Amino acid sequence: MNRNVLKIEGMTCDHCVHTLEKAISAVPGVEKAEVNLKQKSAVITSDRLIDMSNVLFAVEQEGYKASVIS
């Protein structure tokens, strides 16, 4: 399993978490997206290498900023 962590800016509520989990999970190759409001982060799990630029684009399309931590 591959695991990537994002720092996300602009989240303020549980609705933001749900919106981002849905958007990130829709990216091809993403198995699971766990967004944490308190830590302002997302952990993305996949069974193959995924293009993180697609994940960042999905986050930005929802109106948030993201950067890859690991």
CATH number at residue 12: 3.30.70.100
Residue 70 — very low, low, confident or very high, per pLDDT cuts 50/70/90? confident
pTM of the model: 0.93
pLDDT of residue 12 exceeding 90: yes
Q: What are phi and psi of 16, to 5 degrees?
A: -60, -45
Is the CB of residue 25 less than 8 Å from the CB of residue 58? no
How much of the chain is in helix, strand and coil states, percent to nearest 5? Answer: 30, 35, 35
List the structure tokens of 65.
């900023």
What is the residue-averaged pLDDT of the chain? 96
pLDDT of residue 59 exceeding 90: yes
Tell me which residue range forms the domain holding 39.
2-68
Report the domain count for the chain. Answer: 1
